[in-house]
């Protein structure tokens, strides 16, 4: 009897191949691809396709692998960018009705007043951080006039004062976002690493993808987890990165 984790990601509609893997033909010509299609994700890894059920961690991984950068991205920014890139605009989801607990189908384009309070906190904290960085750059810019710098400095002082008075709120919003992103990515990786085919053998595509993510995403991101360098809030800690080997380009 397979566990729920073992059953988590298995292709159901593709023919079997040697070794018990379930693998369909790759007609796209792509070697590395990760795309969302409503409740499923289509993965091509080393030219071999697989299908994955949706979970939040895939969104973060998909954004990281398709947007590689020399600079790590903070968990706040990653949460916002992944939501913008992969949130369905016209999908149907289910939410619990607060008074009865009954599941209600809701169109993805519907307006909900409290759809994601944590994401709202992330947006607010990140917007303030970006504003702070822009103002600091303005103050340090030798080409700017003194009146412009003075105005920027006044705005900076107001931001610094707010951060001092609301340090706990600003830091906790950033920490919650980072923790949520990190846990979702690790959960997704565990599901990949334990994925099996219908006959119980290790799924070659998904487990190979898991090994790739461990080496080129999880391990590099450990440098920015904050475990050894206590930079809190929106500093260095809590950033994520993907450092692919030469020749690996995701679409």
Higher confidence at residue 208 or residue 165?
A: 208
Higher confidence at residue 35 or residue 15?
A: 35
Lowest-pLDDT range of 39-43, 53-57, 177-181, 217-221: 177-181
Which of 76, 66, 115 minimizes the C-alpha distance to 95?
115
* Mean pLDDT of the 206-217 span: 97
What percentage of the chain exceeds 70 in pLDDT?
Answer: 65
What number of other Cβ atoms are within 10 A of residue 40's Cβ?
A: 12
Residue boundaries of the structural domains of the chain: 4-88+116-240
Q: Which residues of 216-240 are buried (b: 16+ CB within 10 A; e: fewer)?
A: bbbeebeebbbeeeeeebbeebbbb
- In the 8-state DSSP scheme, what is residue 227? S
184: which 2 tokens? Answer: 């979702």
Higher confidence at residue 235 or residue 205?
A: 205
Q: How much is the pLDDT for 162?
A: 77
Q: Which residues of 163-199 are buried (b: 16+ CB within 10 A; e: fewer)?
A: beeeeeebeebbbbbbebbbebbeebbebbbbbbbee
Tell me how far apart the alpha carbons of residues 117 and 134 are, in angstroms, rounded to a whole number. 26
Q: Are 80 and 126 within 8 A, CB to CB? A: yes
pLDDT tens-digit series, residues 29-76: 689 999 998 789 999 999 999 999 999 999 999 999 999 888 899 888
* Mean pLDDT of the 125-149 span: 85
Higher confidence at residue 16 or residue 37?
A: 37
Tell me how far apart the alpha carbons of residues 168 and 106 are, in angstroms, rounded to a whole number. 34
Q: Which residues of 102-129 are buried (b: 16+ CB within 10 A; e: fewer)?
A: eeeeeeeeeeeeeeeeebebbbebbebb
pLDDT tens-digit series, residues 84-123: 888 765 444 444 444 444 544 444 443 333 334 455 665 6
Q: Is 239 helix (H, G, I), strand (E, B) or coil?
A: strand
pTM of the predicted protein model: 0.63
Confidence of residue 9 (pLDDT cuts 50, 70, 90): very low
Tell me how far apart the alpha carbons of residues 133 and 100 are, in angstroms, rounded to a whole number. 45
Q: How much is the pLDDT for 241?
A: 94
* Mean pLDDT of the 181-207 span: 95
Q: How much is the pLDDT for 120?
A: 61
Q: How much is the pLDDT for 25?
A: 54
Q: Are 212 and 195 within 8 A, CB to CB? A: no
Tell me how far apart the alpha carbons of residues 124 and 113 are, in angstroms, rounded to a whole number. 16
Q: What is the mean pLDDT of the chain?
A: 75
Instruction: Determine which helix (DSSP H) or strand (DSSP E) holds 24, and give its type and residue range.
Output: none
The top-scoring range by mean pLDDT among 65-74, 133-142, 149-158, 199-208 is 199-208
């Amino acid at each position: 009897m397979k566990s729920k984790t073992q059953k988590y990601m298995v292709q159901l509609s593709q023919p079997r191949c040697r070794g018990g893997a379930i693998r369909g033909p790759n007609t796209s010509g792509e070697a590395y691809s990760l795309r969302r299609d409503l409740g499923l994700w289509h993965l091509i890894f080393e030219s071999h396709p697989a299908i994955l059920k949706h979970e939040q961690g895939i969104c973060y991984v998909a954004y990281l692998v398709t947007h590689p950068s020399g600079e790590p991205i903070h968990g706040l920014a990653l949460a916002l960018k992944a939501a913008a890139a992969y949130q369905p605009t016209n999908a149907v989801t289910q939410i619990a009705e607060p008074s009865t607990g009954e599941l209600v189908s809701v169109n993805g384009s519907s307006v909900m007043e409290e759809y994601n309070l944590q994401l709202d906190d992330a947006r607010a904290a990140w917007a303030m951080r970006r504003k702070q960085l822009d103002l600091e750059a303005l103050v340090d810019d030798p080409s700017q006039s003194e009146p412009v710098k003075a105005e920027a400095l006044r705005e900076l002082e107001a931001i610094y004062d707010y951060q001092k008075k609301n340090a706990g709120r600003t830091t906790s919003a950033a920490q919650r976002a980072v923790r949520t992103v990190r846990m979702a990515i690790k959960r997704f990786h565990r599901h990949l690493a334990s994925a099996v085919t219908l006959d119980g053998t290790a799924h070659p595509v998904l487990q190979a993808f898991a090994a790739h993510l461990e080496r080129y995403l999880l391990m590099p991101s450990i440098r920015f987890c904050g475990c050894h360098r206590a930079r809190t809030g929106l500093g260095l800690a809590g950033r994520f990165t993907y450092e692919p080997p030469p020749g690996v380009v995701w679409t």
